[in-house]
Amino acid sequence: MTIPVSKNDIADLDIIGMTHDGEGVGRVEGYTLFVQGALPGERARVKVLKVKKQYGYAKLLELLEASPDRVEAPCGIYKQCGGCQLQHMGYAAQLRWKRQHVVDNLVRIGKLHVAGQEAGAGAVAADADGADNAGNAVEVIVHPTIGMDEPWRYRNKAQVPMGMGPGTLVTGAADGPESQRLIGGFYARGSHRIIDMDSCLIQHQHNDDVIAHVKAIGRELGITAYDEETGRGLLRHVMTRVGFVTGEIMVVLITNGQRIPNAERWIERIREGIPNVKSIVQNVNTRKTNVIFGDETRLLWGSDVIYDELDGIRFAISARSFYQVNPVQTVALYRKAVEYAGLTGSENVIDAYCGIGTISLFLARQAGHVYGVEIVAEAIEDARRNAALNGIENADFEAGAAEIVIPRWRKEGIVPDIIVVDPPRKGCDPALLETILAMKPRRVVYVSCNPSTLARDLRVLEDGGYRTVEVQPVDMFPHTGHVESVILMVRK
């Protein structure tokens, strides 16, 4: 195919879709261009920035026809910052798009037949793989996305990269001359250039306050930030956690080296400026890597955990615990997972990828017994502590790979009625999917943060004898391109 455009060309095109990163998708004579900031249904004038064999990238110059779903982004640095992708889209439209994003992946990758999805609108007709025992196509119900009443200030954790710069993009009053100083914020879109800021509209206000205070202390004490190119400088990231119910705050300083100059002064100033702080922690990461945390974590002051509650269950959260960042939507997600498990009080449930036991403890309130497995040993320690904290005695946890531990449990006589999985973005390990098929639970509940790997894994389970019944998208991350889903599968 001859590419109809070249770099720096100006073109008018209709935006026909949107990628998972929130980029508009348009075509020029069949050639695809991705346009940041454009919405489906719009007609746009664009400048071609990059041309590849199958697709290219373009910059939005002018909207010839705007979508009725377009809104003014309330964040002053939204166009520069890479933290959000959808603030220019009305919230109701975001929820509709996220459902459709899930549907498109289920149809295209999972080869599933979705109820109400017309062929030619991104759907494919169900074939033998998507049929019931009588050969009839089985329709999967994908419910409307569960959204938030107030989709702002929802994040309980901030992980902010630090750098040195003039800080000219800081929101609010300037606090120093335009010279090199400690800055911190989010990375600019598609780069590791830090956009300095004092306010993020999707963060809990306490996180904003903590980050601003820590930056001020760093400037006061002359602390340098880590430089990715040279490997020099001390402060790499600042992480904060806040308990939505308890109000407790944790501050984590991730440093390029063990020694923190004026450490006692740091602690004193943090405690003075942040009344609810309960934990001040240092994590040491001296590797030349983009990975945030290093292997060594040590307590500088206070407790090594803070506490929070989800639906009446209390959790101890350490610096490196995986704990969902949106507590309001986490409750909606986990309640739906428990509903799909169909518990009556006698079932054996296996929770693969159990983390610190969040879903496990939700399940344990209505199950006979829950067995949680997680490869991260520290998370299993947290899970056991959380079970004890809530007086839950019908949950056991073991550290190890699920695809190794679960078959051993089977040999020991543990036969699950339900298996729940909540894997990372890469989806389930193929060996775990084989294990699920061998264990033959009557239900599988799959919690996913990535529609494409979800659809891939559902296809494997469908081919192995399961049927996808319902899918419930949940908007865990408003104003971003991410969507969480919980899925019910039953044995055919």
Which residues does the annotation mark as catalytic? 449
Amino acid at 251: V
Please list the residues that pair with 77 across neighbouring strands.
none
DSSP 226: P
The length of the chain, given as a count of residues: 492
Question: Measured between alpha carbons, how far is 217 from 72 in angstroms, rounded to an integer?
Answer: 34
Q: How many CB atoms lie within 10 A of CB 296?
A: 12
Q: Phi first, then psi: what are they for 119, rounded to 5°?
A: -60, 140
Question: Measured between alpha carbons, how far is 27 from 33 in angstroms, rounded to an integer?
Answer: 6
Question: Measured between alpha carbons, how far is 46 from 40 in angstroms, rounded to an integer?
Answer: 15
Describe the chain by its helix, strand, coil percentages, rounded to 5.
Answer: 25, 35, 45
Q: Which tokens belong to 296? A: 């060594």
Q: What DSSP letter does each residue of 229-261 carry, written as one string?
A: TT---SEEEEEEEE-TTT--EEEEEEESSS--T
Element of type H or E holding 41: none
Question: Measured between alpha carbons, how far is 213 from 227 in angstroms, rounded to an integer?
Answer: 21
Q: How many CB atoms lie within 10 A of CB 458?
A: 28
φ/ψ region of 301 (left if φ > 0, alpha if ψ in -120 to 50, else beta) reads beta
Question: Measured between alpha carbons, how far is 249 from 251 in angstroms, rounded to an integer?
Answer: 7
Regarding beta strands 10-18 and 23-28, do their DSSP bridges make them parallel or antiparallel, or are they unpaired? Answer: antiparallel
CB 107 within 8 A of CB 452: no
Question: Measured between alpha carbons, how far is 198 from 210 in angstroms, rounded to an integer?
Answer: 10
Q: What DSSP letter does each residue of 425-460 carry, written as one string?
A: TT---HHHHHHHHHH--SEEEEEES-HHHHHHHHHH
CB 162 within 8 A of CB 182: yes
